[in-house]
């Protein structure tokens, strides 16, 4: 393939920043020229409906994949947590670059932390995962569903519509807005969404040369971690619709590097939860995630909810 690679991206500030980061990697490591091609997705066009009503996971992904399969772009960049766990025909996840910090953060009025917010304070989030874990903390906050990009959500705090919002730290880091964070949440309090903070670079499976080139952007530790987290998600999706958080990290074990995986499934009100962790070889990331999720189902994760809104989105 010759000429500039056409990189498909959503048009939001965060998406184009993320795609610009990947474009820079392609230029630096592969020596290829890249041009960004903005693609509108249903999640971008419909800004009022809840993500669950739009179809949840995948609502930001399908238009980019269509553009790939139709040959309008050569590669596409997504937030990994937006990608459904079921593989898409004709499309390969060619690279998962080094992950940003996956934790959630609070942006609150007056520099407050979660624990400093008065009882009854309004906290905005559109994520069932965050709602359940916040409710489980028992802080007496009034949780309000909101949508919109990072700037829109932070503006709601500045304008006094809500007292605080919870966002992915990775998005603020990429946008250069970490100075607005008032608290970084410990995963003990708030486990992130599977894949949070990681980017996914996809291309057509038939473009074997490009698949091989893009593989040079892959980070092995990040790939192992998100593979384990997404295995938890895919296994639980089959038998459990409860909100879910998962985080895997490559850590130094007694016999070298190993993968440490934590996950939680909760009832919608946060009153019930199944929380488990496991470790295993980095090379067996998928098996580790599948095994942990199976253990969670055996411990009653499937009984937490009969129906829930869709998975989490940033």
End-to-end CA distance of the chain: 34
Question: Does residue 134 contact residue 185 with C-beta atoms inside 8 Å?
Answer: no
- Which H or E element spans position 66? helix 62-69
Please count the other Cβ atoms lying within 10 Å of the Cβ belonging to residue 219.
Answer: 15
Contact yes or no for 68/88 (Cβ under 8 A): no
CB 169 within 8 A of CB 103: yes
Radius of gyration of the chain (CA): 19
> d(Cα 115, Cα 251) in Å, to the nearest integer?
30
To which H or E segment does residue 91 belong?
Answer: strand 91-95
Identify the active-site residue in 74, 82, 104, 312. Answer: 82
In sequence order, the 6+-apart residues with CB closer than 8 A to the CB of 17 are: 174, 175
Across the strands, what pairs with 79? 199
Assess whether 110 carries a catalytic annotation.
no
Where helices occur in 137-276 by DSSP H, the ranges are 150-158, 169-175, 208-214, 220-239
Length of the chain: 314
Which residue, among 236, 287, 237, has the nearest Cα to 261 in the 3D structure? Answer: 287
Catalytic residues: 82
């Amino acid at each position: 393939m010759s000429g500039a690679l056409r990189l498909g991206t959503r048009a939001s500030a965060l998406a184009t920043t993320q795609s610009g980061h990947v474009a820079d990697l392609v230029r630096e490591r592969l020596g290829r020229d890249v041009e960004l091609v903005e693609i509108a997705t249903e999640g971008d066009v419909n800004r009022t409906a809840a993500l669950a009503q739009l179809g949840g996971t995948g609502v930001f992904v399908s238009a980019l994949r269509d553009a790939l399969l139709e040959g309008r772009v050569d590669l596409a960049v997504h937030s990994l947590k937006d990608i459904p766990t079921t593989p898409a025909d004709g499309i390969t996840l060619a690279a998962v670059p080094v992950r940003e910090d996956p934790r959630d953060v609070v942006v609150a009025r007056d520099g407050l932390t979660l624990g400093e917010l008065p009882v009854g304070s309004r906290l905005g989030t559109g994520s069932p995962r965050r709602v359940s874990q916040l409710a489980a903390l028992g802080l007496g906050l009034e949780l309000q569903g909101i949508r919109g990009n990072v700037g829109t959500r932070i503006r709601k705090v500045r304008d006094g519509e809500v007292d605080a919002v919870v966002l992915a730290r990775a998005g603020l880091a990429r946008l250069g807005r970490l100075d607005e964070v008032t608290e970084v949440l410990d995963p003990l309090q708030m486990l992130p969404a599977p894949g949070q903070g990681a980017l996914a670079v996809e291309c057509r499976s038939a473009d074997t040369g490009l698949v091989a080139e893009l593989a040079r952007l892959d980070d092995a530790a990040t790939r192992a971690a998100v593979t384990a987290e997404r295995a938890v998600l895919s296994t639980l999706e089959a038998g459990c619709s409860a909100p879910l958080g998962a985080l895997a990290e490559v850590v130094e074990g007694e016999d070298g590097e190993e993968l440490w995986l934590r996950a939680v499934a909760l009832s919608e009100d946060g009153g019930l939860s199944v929380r488990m962790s496991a470790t295993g070889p980095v090379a067996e990331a998928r098996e580790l995630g599948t095994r942990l999720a199976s253990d969670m189902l055996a411990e009653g994760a499937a009984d937490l909810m009969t129906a829930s809104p869709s998975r989490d989105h940033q």
